[in-house]
Amino acid sequence: MKDLHSHLLPGIDDGSKSIEETITLLKKASEEGITDLVLTPHYIEMSKYNCNNDDKLRLLKIVQEEASKENININLYLGNEVYLTENFLELLKNNEIMTINNSRYLLLEFPLGNMFRNTKEILYELIVSGYIPIIAHPERYRIFQRHPEHMEEYLRMGVLLQGNYKSLLGKYGKDAKHTLKYFLKKGWICLIGSDCHHEENFEIKKMKRKLNSIVKDEQMIADILENNFVKIITNEEIGIRR
């Protein structure tokens, strides 16, 4: 598996608090079969989670050096999970937030409760500027739990969806679990990620069994687990099922 979403850059958000915790988690990830992983720290304007790109790159180098010392065989990349804002383009221009591996793809999150009224306008501005939004864990947002069919409007815009596979294992409650299953059956999920914050088991084998019981298309499973990740890292186009 290749993991697009994690919070293992130490000390800058609500994820890993130290390089030691990061290395422990990377060891577990490698042991459970994760070969590639994107570090996607939160970026929330007007909060303490606002580490800029220069500082993120400095921390990435430290993590890579320590992982190499421990013989951890995982390819590491950098991005952000950016909380929805009208200032995406300004933050990108000012070197505050980072797309996934400097590609066109930007991982973002919505409020878990009520949606911003101008959400679609914000996403549209990103898209016409050449970026491709990836919505993190769409199954966790209340609006889509109540009305999962509303996601079709976003898909038609060109937005991609990244589910948290722990939703399938019940971590976020039954509503998130049912919603992610719905999206998977529709073929709307392009990737799944761990959204790992702290020390825990990745449970990759258990996740794969769940995924195989929901998605019957082997090619789709390969795309979700690996192929679409590679396309994002290399800035290639991903086809969207609607």
Angle at 191 between CA 41 and CA 157, to 5 degrees: 90
Indicate whether 178 pLDDT > 90: yes
- The reported pLDDT for the residue numbered 240 is 63
What pLDDT is attached to residue 241? 56
Rounded distance between C-alpha atoms, residue 160 and residue 156, angstroms: 10
Q: Which residue shows structure tokens 């019940």?
A: 170
Average pLDDT (135-139) is 98
Per-residue pLDDT band for 201 (boundaries 50, 70, 90) equals: confident
Q: Which domains does the chain have, with CATH numbers?
A: 2-233 (3.20.20.140)
pLDDT at 242 over 60: no
Q: Which pLDDT band, with edges at 50, 70 and 90, does 38 fall under?
A: very high
| Average pLDDT rounded to a whole number, residues 133-152 | 96
Q: What angle do CA 211, 216, 219 make, to 5 degrees?
A: 90
What integer is the mean pLDDT of 55-83?
Answer: 98
pLDDT score recorded for residue 115: 80
Average pLDDT, the chain: 95
Task: Report helix angle 53-69 to 19-31, nearest 10.
Answer: 60
Each residue of 73-130: pLDDT tens digit?
999 999 999 999 999 999 999 999 999 999 999 999 999 988 888 999 999 999 999 9
